[in-house]
Amino acid sequence: QQQLEKIRAEREKLEREQRQAQQRLEQIASRERQAAQQQAAPAGPPPPPGNQGVDTGLNARYAAAIQEAILRNWARPDSVPIGQRCRIVIRQIPGGEVVSAEVDPSCPYDDLGRRSVEAAVLKAQPLPYAGFEAVFQRTLVLNFEAQDR
């Protein structure tokens, strides 16, 4: 009789331990499902309207990096005053390879200045890309500012 009671107590203990182990497994599986859902869902609140969810600070750093790359490859003609701005339309592919660079008709630079900026854009390729993938645009309108190097 005592042995029978001992066996029953042992069985109940094992069943309890098995239920606890099963509960732990279910909790772990539940946490993993929640983690997977959180990774699939966008983190935090939706981006504010007006910037299409783009980090404007990253946009500014991207424009500055492109400006710097062009300036490194540009010899400013004497006819282009320092600080004068010119809009350039740059068409590129991912990786920063330039397909075309055209100075906007509103650009105040003379022909020599316009050609020199277009040539500098082509010489600067590949344009900065790594780290700026989130704000990369195939067609980029850059407000280039004349500076000396």
Q: 25-68 pLDDT, tens per residue?
A: 999 888 888 777 766 655 555 544 544 555 567 888 888 898 89
How confident is the model at residue 51, as a pLDDT?
Answer: 47
**Is the CB of residue 95 less than 8 Å from the CB of residue 129?**
yes
**60 three-class SS:** helix
d(CA 69, CA 53): 26
**pTM, full prediction:** 0.60
The radius of gyration computed from the CA coordinates of the chain, to the nearest angstrom, equals 31
How confident is the model at residue 50, as a pLDDT?
Answer: 46
Tokens of residue 49, six digits: 């309207």
**140 three-class SS:** strand
* Positions in the chain short of pLDDT 50: 47-48, 50-51
Tokens of residue 130, six digits: 């790594």
Pick the CATH number of 56-145 from 3.30.2090.10, 3.40.1710.10, 3.30.1150.10, 3.40.50.300: 3.30.1150.10
**Is the CB of residue 97 less than 8 Å from the CB of residue 122?**
no
